[in-house]
Structure 1
Amino acid sequence: MNDVFVAHYSEISLRGANRGRYVGLLIRNIRSMLGGQVSKITHVDARLVGVVSAENWDELDRKLGRVFGVAWYTRATLLPHDYEELKRRCVEIALHAKRSGARTFGIRVRRAGEYWGANSLELARMLGGDVKQLCGLEVDLEQPDLELFVDIVKSGILVYTSKHKGPGGLPLGSSGSVIHLLSGGVDSAVAAWLLMKRGVTPFYLHFYAYPSVDHVVDSKVARVARVLSDYSGGSTLIAVPFTKYQLASIRLGERVEPVLFRYFMRRFAERVASAVGAEAVSFGDSIGQVASQTLENIAAVDQGSQLPVFRPLLTYNKQETIDLARKLGLYEHAVAQYKDCCAMVSRHPNTRVAKERVREAYDKLNLDGLIQELEDESYVILIQPNETTHHQMGFKEWLKTKTTPVKPH
């Protein structure tokens, strides 16, 4: 008899011939998230089963619930194909539940194949009869006080009493990487989580208005990235100083400038994507939420793009985004006070800036040259979950340390 965790996937089952690659990534990500707390993970009958120690379960519970690709998970007992051992374990669980006030029970038997014993219905009836007789509980298959799940798989019998919902989606790293514009606010933070749920690894690009990058390290931006790291196993935050752009664009008409800044950020992100091998750029935009996010202005920002531009929140309203941020533990950090560059540009932007005006202003200010200049002044902050200190280095220095894109976790 072993204590194990059981993790089920759902979407991965639809991957056909590529399923093995996705399962391999999911196992890798679970190992990375759990570290030395799990000694062995096996793939058996569309389930992942890992051997754990009972004293580690609370921590494992928290971490498994944040691994993308896991539809649901639970703590279980793994038994051999032996009815007497199965009966003994079910009676032990039922008696414990009875002492805690349970009066009814139900047994759900699932067979992953023709491995052992009677069919599911017959086994459930036989086992239910024994538990009822030996424990004095009544059968209730609709709303029982105690649910006993029994899964018959190739390697044995899994017995458990509950299912915990995971984030679902696809394993992180299965869908490539993007450069994601992270302001530190609610929208960009939630958009990053939604990208990760689809298997995308984000590199975070942040423009800061403070005199020193040290302010970013100590700010809500780093705290938001740290919360996101709880789901990814680590975050790479590229911090770019904003002041030189602000000085270069100060004479522009205020109705053009916000869209130009977003166009500039997108161009900068594309250059970073080329350097690290990312396949796309992403924003936390929602259609019509603010003046710079009308369809016309989004088109002006995206004009001439060499890469796909993703916007995971495109159809979300603000309350939906806030609700998800609260659920994920992002909200209180994302609404903290911070000098956000986007809030420093025009307060009265045009909702329909012509593409030509944006491109003309970009060329006139020689912002391509400014991008090259700012690359030398940017920093990379490497953030790990549950750590209050971060490693940082110059952007160009960081690029020299890798020959292929870094995809944490």
Structure 2
Amino acid sequence: MNNQCILIHYHEISLKGDNRSWFEKHFVENIKAQLHSLPYKKIKVLAARIFIIGIDRDCYEEYEKCLKNVMGLKNAYVMSRSDLNVDAINSEVQSQIKDLSFSTFRVSTKRQDKNFQYTSQDVNQIVGASIVAAYSKKVSLDNPDLNIIIEIVNGKAYIGYRKIIGYGGLPIGTGEKALSLISSGIDSPVASFLLAKRGVDVHYIHFHSVPSTSIQSINNVKAILMQLSKYQIQCSLYSVPLLSIQEKIMKNISSKYWVIFFRKAMYSISELLAKQLNINALITGENVGQVASQTISNIRAASDAVNIPVLRPLAGMNKEEIVNIAEDIGTYEISIKPYEDCCSFFVPKHPATSANLADVQNMEKAIRLEQYYEDLLEQITEERISIYE
């Protein structure tokens, strides 16, 4: 009988009340999606834990690679299930650690089943004493080489030491939909990831200036979304040819306002598409003060024309913090590849850094860009991107 399993602790789901089972259902479905090609017998929810039962312990690295990307997962352990008595627990512990190299250790027991006669501290002491007697190892509670995990749940003991650390947050699909203005730069993929970690079902809109710019930015975005699909499983990418709008802006607006008006157009088109898709929020990678277009005055001027909420999770972060996340989630190396996006290619030498809202609104009324947006919506192309590709 296969007594191997993975025991998962979820993160913020534990804070939910009467609808916790709904969050658990989404969490389990996401786990199944991540494990689609790995062996297991079944997944069950028990005592605020998720158990993946009947795994192949030799595939540990593959399980770890998949499960750490499941949004909502706090941590997980590869475990062996044993009978609930100290002899069986000690025997399983000895079996697992006999070939391991370590100098110090600790035993960490959690007892969900209060019917078991021993407390968590009792189990720690009993198992710890047997390890000291058998291997002459030292106990270190603060910084052990080996941390042996024992969980007492519903009449069984689960023992292991291999820990998988997740990103926490909430399961994908438990939040509403949002549309992310994605470029192939560093910031917007990180912003999208942070909202996905909140359970938001993120989809993407990318503006390009082909043929004035290379198609490489589109290819880079697709590569970024393939990486992000490891976390959010699947998404849609909507590609928008912005060049005709940019040409009208550059012909009729002072160059120092070009980027503001490019972004105004992006916001407005994104809002129109979001309404079509029944999406209630936009996401951007804007970071206050990072570049000229991201001063508070310019952010206000650029987004003034839209009524939809705009989520800016990077607004107060340092660039180093953003880069660290990008490196961790695997988008950084793609983002630093050479590319020309629809804004950077046309950036003037002296852009406005503190646009006057009234002036921008007057220019907006004169140029009347909104008359072209509906036609542009007809030119948008959609592509589905999935973890399974």
Could you state the TM-score of these two structures normalised by the residue count of structure 2? 0.92
Tell me the residue number matched to 1:383: 385
The answer for unaligned runs of 5 or more in structure 1 is: 388-409
Quote the offset at 1:10 in angstroms. 2.5
Conserved? CA contact 1:219–1:338, under 8 Å: no
Deviation at residue 155 of structure 1 after TM alignment: 5.4
CA contact (8 A) 1:263 1:302 kept: yes
Which shifted more, 285-294 or 215-224? 215-224
Q: Which amino acid is 1:259 matched to? A: I
Q: Read off the aligned partner of 1:153 and give its amino acid letter.
A: V
CA deviations 1:206-256 (Å, max 9, x no partner) are 011123999369621111111111111123111001221122212211122
Aligned with 1:78 (options 70, 76, 81): 81
Change (3 A) 1:378 1:214: farther
CA distance in 2, matches of 1:290, 1:254: 16
Gaps of 5+ in 2: none
Q: Distance in 1 between matches of 2:244 and 2:67?
A: 44
> Any conservation in 2 of the 1:195–1:202 contact (CA below 8 Å)?
yes
CA 1:219–1:328 in 2, change beyond 3 Å: closer, same or farther? same
Q: State the SS of the aligned residue for 1:382.
A: strand
C-alpha distance in 1 between matches for 2:296 and 2:224: 28
Aligned 1:350-361 pairs, distance under 5 A: 350-361=352-363
Residues 321 and 140 of structure 1: is their aligned pair in 2 closer, same or farther, counting only changes over 3 Å?
closer
| CA 214–382 in structure 1, closer or farther in 2 if over 3 Å, else same | farther
Shift of 1:9: 1.6
Between the aligned partners of 2:311 and 2:57, the Cα distance in structure 1 is 42
Contact persistence 1:115–1:152 (CA under 8 A): no
CA distance in 2 between counterparts of 1:137 and 1:317 reads 44
| 2:376 matches 1:365 | no
When residues 80 and 212 of structure 1 are mapped into structure 2, their CA distance, relative to the original with a 3 A threshold, is farther
Aligned-residue RMSD, C-alpha:
2.2
**1:305-384 matches, cutoff 5 A:** 305-347=306-348, 348-384=350-386
Q: What residue number does 2:236 align with? A: 236
CA shift, 1:319, in A, is: 2.0
Closer, same or farther: CA 218–284 of 1 in aligned 2, 3 Å: closer
Counterpart of 2:22 in structure 1 is 21
The 8 Å contact of residues 113 and 155 in structure 2, kept in 1 or not, is answered as no
CA distance in 1, matches of 2:188, 2:66: 23
Displacement of 1:334: 0.4
1:245–1:304 distance in 2 versus 1, CA, 3 Å: closer
Name which of 64, 67, 71 aligns with 2:70.
67
C-alpha spacing 1:156/1:262, structure 2 compared with 1 (3 Å): same
- Give the equivalent residue in structure 1 for 2:44: 42
Percentage identity across aligned positions?
28
CA contact (8 A) 2:68 2:165 kept: yes
Contact 1:208 1:216 (8 Å CA) reproduced: no
Whether the 8 Å contact between 1:282 and 1:310 is mirrored in structure 2 is: yes
CA displacement 1:239-275 (0-9 Å, x = unmatched)? 0012211222122111222111111111111111111
Residue pair 1:30, 1:64 contacting (<8 A) in 2 also: yes
Contact 1:216 1:222 in 2 (8 A): no
Mapped pair 1:278 → 2:279 = yes
Equivalent in the alignment of 2:3: 2
Does the alignment pair 1:262 with 2:263?
yes
Tell me: CA distance 1:214–1:47, structure 2 relative to 1, closer, same or farther (3 Å).
Answer: farther
> What is the alpha-carbon distance in structure 2 between the residues aligned to residue 219 and residue 36 of structure 1?
27
CA distance in 2, matches of 1:6, 1:262: 46
For 2:105, what is the secondary structure of its paired residue?
strand
CA offsets per residue over residues 312-341 of structure 1, 9 Å max, x none?
A: 100012222112211221111001111201
Pick one of 52, 59, 64 that aligns with 1:56: 59
Report if the CA contact (8 A) 1:169-1:198 is conserved: yes
2:97 counterpart of 1:94: yes
Output the TM-score relative to the length of structure 1. Answer: 0.88
Does the Cα contact within 8 Å between 1:226 and 1:235 map onto a contact in 2?
Answer: no
Per the TM alignment, residue 164 of structure 1 is displaced from its structure 2 partner at its CA by: 2.5
Check conservation: 1:115, 1:153, Cα contact below 8 A: no
1:291 maps to amino acid:
A
- Please tell me whether the aligned partners of residues 178 and 283 of structure 2 are also in contact (alpha carbons under 8 angstroms): yes
Opposite residue 29 of structure 2, the aligned amino acid is: R
Give the 3-state SS of the residue equivalent to 1:16 in structure 2. Answer: coil
Deviation at residue 63 of structure 1 after TM alignment: 1.0
Which whole-Å CA distance do the structure 2 matches of 1:253 and 1:214 have between them?
A: 25
- Structure 1 CA distance for aligned equivalents of residues 30 and 335 of structure 2: 26
Work out whether residues 241 and 377 of structure 1, in 8 Å CA contact, stay in contact via their aligned partners in 2. yes
Q: Distance in 1 between matches of 2:290 and 2:315?
A: 9
